[in-house]
């Protein structure tokens, strides 16, 4: 059996990932031959995954939050490496785990990450004047980047952190005029609260921004939300958690393989799988079947979480 790299972000989830791993390590060592790394920062994590690719590892398991999985996936996608990515969710949001139906129980999640069969899912690539990046779950522009910045400023995070930070960002954010093309068609123009280019279904710890998104259909679900009054926001926010917002008047939705965004004024940082990236004019493109993950049979219904 090929060796598996286990990448542990001990700081994820306010230290939850480190505590999970201490309990899980004896089980992991019995299940598969593993090499465990607990890098001090993102750059050291990237080097560890690159070394795993170059040394012939068969699998990389990310123990942490969405940012840990995003980092590992970015390295694998950038190198075109056929390794399988396993995920043990232990972060603040852990939204990618939801459409993959990864068990909430850490021991079950670990078994799937180490031994589960590989399933090919889509990924995304974004390129613009200020660089490029890969993503797996959702890349978004507008108020979501301000939410990320607010969350990142919170030292100790709990179950309500994302909700509280979302409300804070919504109170501060001022909509920016944007133009959006989808598969070459002029699709949306005007003030935007949010533009989400979604491969997965949820962001912000369970907000179902793209409730019908499918990870292996070769398409993004694209959601644009126009300017919304404070009173409307108070009414509509619960709809977002239940995925009931797509029919609301300020919401625009379609599916596309390529999305072009041109902001008419500076935007906050992009929110990308829960991480932040410089914003600006960009093009998002879907990469069909580009990433192998240890997950469920995506042809079967995914149970609700």
pLDDT one-digit tens code per residue, 258-283:
999 999 999 999 999 989 999 999 99
Whole-model pTM: value is: 0.91
Kindly indicate the confidence band of residue 1, based on its pLDDT and cuts at 50, 70 and 90.
low
The tokens 């949010």 sit on which residue? Answer: 194
229 pLDDT more than 90: no
| Whole-number pLDDT of residue 46 | 95
The pair of three-digit structure tokens given for residue 44, joined into one six-digit string: 């050291």
Class of the CATH domain delimited by 4-117: alpha beta
10 pLDDT more than 90: no
Q: Which residue has the higher pLDDT, 298 or 213?
A: 213
Say how far apart CA 305 and CA 300 lie, in whole Å: 15
Q: Structurally, what CATH architecture does the domain formed by 126-287 represent?
A: Sandwich (2.60)
Output the CA–CA distances (angstroms, integers) from residue 109 to 71, 89, 103, 196, 224, in the order listed.
Answer: 19, 8, 5, 28, 33
pLDDT in tens, 110-167: 999 999 999 999 999 999 988 899 999 999 999 988 888 888 777 676 677 778 888 8
Say how far apart CA 66 and CA 90 lie, in whole Å: 9
User: DSSP H helical segments within 37-86, as ranges?
Assistant: 42-55, 66-79
pLDDT in tens, 161-196: 778 888 888 888 899 999 999 999 999 999 999 999
Handedness of CA 207, 12, 74, 83 (dihedral sign): negative
Say how far apart CA 119 and CA 100 lie, in whole Å: 10
Average confidence score pLDDT of the chain: 89
Q: Residues of CATH 2.60.200.40 domain(s) within the chain?
A: 126-287
Q: Residues of CATH 3.40.50.10330 domain(s) within the chain?
A: 4-117
The candidate with the shortest Cα–Cα distance to 244, out of 209, 197, 192, is 209
| Whole-number pLDDT of residue 137 | 97
298 pLDDT more than 90: no
């Amino acid at each position: 059996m090929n060796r598996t790299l286990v990448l542990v972000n001990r700081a994820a989830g306010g230290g939850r990932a480190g505590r999970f791993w201490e309990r899980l390590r004896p089980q992991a060592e019995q299940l598969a031959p593993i090499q465990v790394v607990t890098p001090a920062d993102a750059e050291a994590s990237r080097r560890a995954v690159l070394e795993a690719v170059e040394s012939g590892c068969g699998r990389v398991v990310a123990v942490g939050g969405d940012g840990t999985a995003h980092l590992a996936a970015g390295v694998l996608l950038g190198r075109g490496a056929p390794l399988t990515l396993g995920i043990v969710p232990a972060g603040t949001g852990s939204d990618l785990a939801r459409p993959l139906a990864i068990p909430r129980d850490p021991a079950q999640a670990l078994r799937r990450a180490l031994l589960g069969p590989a399933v090919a899912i889509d990924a995304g690539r974004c390129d613009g004047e200020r660089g490029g990046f890969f993503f797996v779950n959702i890349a978004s522009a507008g108020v979501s980047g301000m939410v990320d910045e607010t969350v990142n400023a919170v030292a100790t995070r709990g179950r309500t952190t994302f909700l509280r930070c979302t409300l804070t960002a919504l109170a501060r954010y001022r909509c920016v005029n944007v133009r959006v093309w989808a598969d070459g068609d002029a699709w949306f123009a005007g003030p935007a609260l949010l533009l989400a280019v979604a491969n997965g279904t949820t962001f912000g710890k369970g907000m179902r921004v793209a409730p019908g998104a499918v990870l292996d259909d070769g398409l993004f679900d694209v959601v644009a939300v126009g300017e919304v009054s404070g009173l409307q926001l108070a009414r509509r926010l619960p709809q977002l958690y239940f995925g009931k917002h797509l029919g609301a008047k300020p919401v625009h939705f379609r599916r596309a393989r390529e999305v072009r965004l041109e902001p008419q004024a500076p935007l906050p940082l992009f929110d990308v799988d829960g991480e932040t990236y410089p914003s600006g004019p960009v093009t998002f493109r879907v990469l069909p079947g580009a990433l192998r993950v240890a997950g469920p049979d995506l042809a079967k219904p995914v149970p609700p979480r």
